[in-house]
């Protein structure tokens, strides 16, 4: 159980406080409600580029990292399709330094052309190294547009193509910042050896004077219901043939999300799962095989992916996967299987919440659902899932016409 208090500043900044006086640290997590889904189709990769630019210094503080390190703090950030998240840890007695740094870059980011050029090069190099010059690195660059044809999940967080980052102008950057990096588009969580009164005072002092802005209204195109199977063949110099099969499924805050998540775990989480036991261990068709859900806020994907043993065709691999999928759709899952995956999921939640920072991140993300206490309700929601619930979502999701398959063929 994560205890917390909430309040909102006049400028719209939502603040959540979690007190834990068993530790000597304080953590700050500031979540901006903007991800790659909020980008224009012809200007992608901006949310991720901004994650880098936010460390390029402000008008008042040329080096964010240096100022934080001087008081014993450390920080990091990540961007995904839905959010951009910044977080820091520091000794609790230096908490005000964290407020100073985070409020300063929200208000006074330095739009330095040199910083833009430096970070542009860093992001382009990351694009090349992680996505273009690495075996299987471009999988999501190809699978996303196959599965999503209208919704902006069709491009990866890094961006659709390098040219979008290469051509980004300072005006583009400023427009993105002033549309999304606003107090009324952010959630601040402060956790650790802190008090509610202390956080209220610091929040009013440092964030209170920042004016709210006009948020860009989110009007994302809904992905039409898929009515026929899609297929893509790719050839690349990779070690082994690989297969990716994706099905559309509910979003993270949908009532059926947890049942779909449990279903994917029965299918492909770990070495005791159906896919691994049958197709890796018994039949020796795949070298590796798993299933997972994207966990996106808007309706996302359940993905089955594996690498085949040498000499086994991609068609044979898919045929064997389909057989297990059809079996699950026809007969559902057993009580023992469901109990096992429930225990795994609940254990993951509990282990994850050992760290104060993870608790802070989970509170911030849960707040996007409109119910911050979802962070404390997830265990109950998982516990109450029945085998009938799993069977119902299996019949709805695991339809062949709801699938997209990519054959990733190894060539010399």
Span 263-277, pLDDT tens digits: 999 999 999 999 999
Q: What is the pLDDT of residues 241-265, one digit of tens each?
A: 999 999 999 999 999 999 999 999 9
**Predicted pLDDT of residue 226:** 98
- 32-41, 59-68, 373-382: the lowest-pLDDT one: 59-68
Q: What is the pLDDT of residues 123-156, one digit of tens each?
A: 999 999 999 999 999 999 999 999 999 999 999 9
**Predicted pLDDT of residue 109:** 86
Q: What is the pLDDT of residues 323-356, one digit of tens each?
A: 999 999 999 999 999 999 999 999 999 999 999 9
Q: What is the pLDDT of residues 282-300, one digit of tens each?
A: 999 999 999 999 999 999 9
Q: How confident is the model at residue 41 (pLDDT cuts 50, 70, 90)?
A: very high
Half-sphere exposure of 38 (CA within 13 A, CB side): 25
- In DSSP notation, 144-204 reads HHHH-SSSGGGS-TT-S-HHHHHT--HHHHHHHHHHH-SGGGEEEEEEES--HHHHHHHHH
Domain architecture of the chain: domains with CATH: 5-208 (3.30.830.10), 230-410 (3.30.830.10)
Q: Single out the residue of 238, 258, 200 nearest to residue 406, CA to CA.
A: 238
| Number of Cβ within a 10 Å radius of residue 309 | 16
Share of the chain above pLDDT 90, in %: 92
CA 144 remoteness from chain centre: 15
Statement: residue 55 has pLDDT above 90: no
Give the CA-trace dihedral at 313, 241, 403, 378, to 10 degrees.
130
User: How buried is residue 118: exposed, middle or buried, by Cβ count under 10 Å (0-12/13-18/19+)?
Assistant: middle
Helix H or strand E segment including 379: helix 374-383
Q: Which long-range contacts (CB under 8 A, 24 or more apart) does 218-224 make?
A: 218/38, 220/37, 220/38, 220/151, 220/152, 220/298, 221/150, 221/151, 221/152, 222/150, 222/151, 223/148, 223/149, 223/150, 223/151, 223/153, 223/248, 223/298, 223/299, 224/149, 224/150
- 107-116, 233-242, 310-319: the lowest-pLDDT one: 107-116
**Predicted pLDDT of residue 112:** 86
**Predicted pLDDT of residue 56:** 83
Q: Single out the residue of 311, 160, 157, 149 nearest to residue 232, CA to CA.
A: 149
Q: Are 360 and 87 in contact, with CB atoms under 8 Å apart?
A: yes
CA distance 78 to 86: 7
CA distance 46 to 42: 11
What's the 3-state SS for 218-239?
A: CCCCCCCCCCCCEEEEEEECCC
Tell me what the pLDDT averaged over the chain comes to.
96
pLDDT (mean) for 81-85: 98
- Which whole-number Å values give the CA distances from 13 to 31, 161, 189, 213, 219, in the listed order? 11, 34, 11, 11, 22
């Amino acid at each position: 159980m994560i205890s917390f208090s909430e309040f909102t500043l006049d400028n719209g900044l939502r603040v959540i406080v979690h007190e834990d006086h068993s530790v000597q640290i304080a953590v700050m997590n500031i979540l901006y409600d903007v991800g790659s889904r909020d980008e224009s189709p012809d200007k992608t990769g901006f949310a991720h580029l901004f994650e880098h630019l936010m460390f390029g210094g402000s008008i008042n503080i040329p080096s964010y990292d240096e100022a934080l390190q001087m008081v014993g703090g450390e920080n990091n950030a990540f961007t995904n399709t839905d959010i951009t998240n910044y977080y820091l840890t520091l000794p609790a007695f230096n908490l005000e330094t964290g407020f100073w740094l985070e409020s300063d870059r929200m208000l006074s980011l330095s739009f330095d052309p040199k910083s833009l050029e430096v970070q542009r090069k860093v992001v382009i190099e990351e694009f090349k190294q992680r996505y273009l010059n690495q075996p299987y690195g471009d999988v999501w660059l190809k699978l996303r547009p196959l599965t999503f044809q209208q919704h902006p999940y069709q491009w990866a967080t890094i961006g659709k193509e390098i040219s979008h980052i290469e051509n980004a102008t300072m005006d583009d950057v400023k427009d993105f910042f002033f549309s999304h990096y606003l107090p009324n588009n952010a959630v601040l969580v402060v956790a650790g050896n802190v008090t509610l009164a202390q956080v209220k005072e610091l929040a009013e002092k440092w964030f209170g004077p920042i004016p709210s802005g006009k948020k860009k209204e989110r009007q994302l195109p809904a992905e039409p219901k898929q009515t026929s199977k899609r297929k893509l063949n790719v050839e690349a110099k990779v070690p082994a043939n690989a297969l990716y099969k994706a099905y559309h499924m509910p979003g993270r805050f949908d009532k059926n999300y947890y049942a779909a998540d449990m279903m994917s775990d029965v299918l492909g989480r770990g070495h005791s799962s159906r896919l691994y036991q049958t197709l890796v261990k018994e039949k020796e068709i795949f070298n590796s095989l798993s299933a997972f859900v994207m966990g996106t806020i808007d309706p996302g994907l359940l993905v089955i992916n594996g690498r085949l043993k040498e000499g086994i065709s991609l068609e044979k691999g898919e045929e064997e996967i389909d057989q297990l999928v059809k079996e699950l759709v026809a007969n559902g899952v057993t009580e023992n299987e469901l109990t096992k995956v429930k225990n795994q999921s609940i254990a993951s939640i509990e282990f994850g919440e050992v760290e104060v920072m993870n608790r802070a991140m989970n509170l911030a993300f849960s707040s996007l659902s409109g119910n911050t206490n979802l962070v404390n309700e997830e265990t109950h929601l998982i516990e109450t899932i029945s085998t009938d619930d799993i069977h119902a979502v299996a019949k709805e999701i695991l339809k062949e016409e709801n699938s997209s398959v990519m054959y990733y063929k190894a060539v010399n």
